A and B are shown apart, each in its own frame.
Chain A
C-alpha cells in the first residue's frame, strides 16, 4: 500500500529529504512497524529512530503514538519534539 511521508525541522535536515511516497507491504500495520522498516535504510535513519526522545509522529496531521495503525494513503509525518510558542 502507498503512504506519504513528511519530515520536518531537524529530522528533515538530518535525513536530507522533506517528503516521499513509498509503497510498503501490508504486513506493516503500525507506526512502530513502519519505523522498524525505515531503520533498515541505515545511517541517519537508524540514528534518529533509535532515540525515541528525538522524534514525534503524526498520522493525517494528528499527533500519534507508535501503536497507532496505518492505512493506505495515510499522511505520516516525523519531526522533533515541538518548540513553538
Chain B
C-alpha cells in the first residue's frame, strides 16, 4: 500500500495498470475526483487552491489505508491526493483498491474516500474572477463516514 501527496497531475489509469502487474487480483475499483467548474450559488470557478497540513496529511492517509487493509482482505491500496493550484477539470484525488473479489474492492474504495473526506487535512479555496472563498465543509460528509461505524 502507498500514499502520495503531490502538486503534480497523476495518471490513475497508468498507475492502475502498473499495480495490476504486481498482484494476482480478481478485481480493482478506482475512484477519481475532479475539480468542478462551479458550486451552486456561486459564479464560475477559475481555479482551486488546496492547502494541507504537511506531516498530518501523510499520517492520516496511511492510517485510513491501514484501517481498510485490516477490515477487508485486500491485495493493495493506492491513494494519491494533490495540493496547490488545481484547474477546472483536473483530478484532485485518486484511490485504487485491488482485491480478490469485487465486493471487498468496492466497499474498501468507498470506505477510503468517505474517511478521506473528513479525516485527511485538506482545505479547498475557490477562486473566481470576482473573489476567493474557502469552501464550507458539508454535513453529509460526516454522515457518510458515520455509516461505516
Contact = CB atoms under 8 A, between A and B. Distances in A.
Q: Tell me if chain B binds chain A.
A: yes
Interface of A: 6, 8-10, 13, 58, 61-63, 77, 79-85
The 5 closest A-B pairs by CB, nearest first: A84-B122, A81-B137, A9-B123, A61-B56, A10-B134
Contacts of B138: 83
Given A62-B59, A85-B116, A9 B92 contact: no
Given A6-B53, A8-B123, A83-B122, 6 more contacts: A9-B51, A58-B121, A79-B123, A81-B137, A82-B137, A84-B124
Given A58-B53, A77-B53, A83 B136 contact: yes
Contact of B33 (A6, A77, A85): A85
B67 interface: no
16 contacts: A13-B134, A58-B53, A61-B53, A61-B55, A61-B60, A62-B56, A79-B121, A81-B137, A82-B118, A82-B119, A82-B122, A82-B123, A83-B123, A83-B137, A84-B52, A85-B117
Interface of B: 33, 50-53, 55-56, 59-60, 81, 92-93, 113, 116-125, 134-138
B122 to A, nearest CB: 3
A75 to B, nearest CB: 8
B135 A83 contact: yes
B137 A85 contact: no
Q: Could you tell me the dominant secondary structure of chain B's interface residues? A: mixed
Nearest to B59: A61
A84 B125 CA distance: 10
A6 B55 CA distance: 12
Nearest to B95: A85
Contact of A85 (B51, B92, B125): B92
